[in-house]
């Protein structure tokens, strides 16, 4: 037990859950907000800004990258992470589709 039974759900259900899950941590929400405000970022800034260890920030960035939300560009000896706006919008649309088609009133 303890393992999510991915195989009993549809691919779409798993995908939707995955998007939600990646966004479901306050550090990742904060990272996205910060990057958006700065219009760029280097990971080192984030460590100071967010207040988590560098290794932890790096791990969160990796998860955001895993669903394509962030693009990382090497800029000299630092990394420039930025939001992949196309992907961002695509995921927003997916989630809205879910919200709009899963809304029924019975009682």
Partner DNA sequence: ACTTATTATCGTAATATTGCAATATATAAA
Partner DNA sequence: TTTATATATTGCAATATTACGATAATAAGT
**Of the ranges 32-40, 46-54, 87-95, 97-105, which one interacts with DNA (CB under 7 A)?**
46-54
- If binding is defined by CB under 8 A, does position 44 make contact with its own copies? no
Widest CA span in the chain: 59
Cα 35 to chain centroid, rounded: 12
Q: 53-62: list long-range contacts, CB under 8 Å, 24+ apart.
A: 56/27, 57/27, 57/31, 60/25, 60/27, 60/28, 60/31, 61/31
- If binding is defined by CB under 8 A, does position 6 make contact with its own copies? yes
Footprint on residues 72-91 left by DNA (CB under 7 A): 72, 74, 76-79
**Of the ranges 18-26, 29-37, 87-95, 98-106, which one interacts with DNA (CB under 7 A)?**
18-26
Helix 26-38 / helix 43-50 crossing angle, nearest 10 deg: 120
- If binding is defined by CB under 7 A, does position 54 make contact with DNA? yes
Question: 62 to each of 13, 36, 59, 93, how far by Cα in Å?
Answer: 22, 17, 5, 23
Q: Which residues bind its own copies (CB under 8 A)?
A: 4-6, 8-10, 13-14, 16-30, 32-33, 35-37, 39-40, 50-52, 71, 73, 80, 82-83, 85, 88-89, 92, 95-96, 98-99, 101-107
Q: Which residues bind DNA (CB under 7 A)?
A: 1-5, 21, 24-25, 27, 42-44, 52-56, 58-63, 72, 74, 76-79
């Amino acid at each position: 037990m303890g393992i999510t039974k991915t195989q009993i759900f549809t691919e779409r259900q798993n995908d939707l859950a995955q998007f939600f899950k990646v966004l479901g941590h306050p550090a990742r929400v904060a990272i996205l907000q910060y990057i958006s405000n700065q219009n760029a970022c280097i990971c080192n800034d984030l460590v100071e800004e967010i207040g988590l260890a560098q290794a932890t920030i790096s791990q969160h960035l990796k998860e955001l990258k895993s669903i394509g939300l962030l693009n990382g560009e090497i800029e000299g000896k630092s990394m420039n992470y930025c939001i992949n706006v196309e992907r961002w919008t695509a995921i927003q649309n997916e989630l809205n589709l879910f919200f709009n088609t899963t809304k029924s009133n019975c009682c």
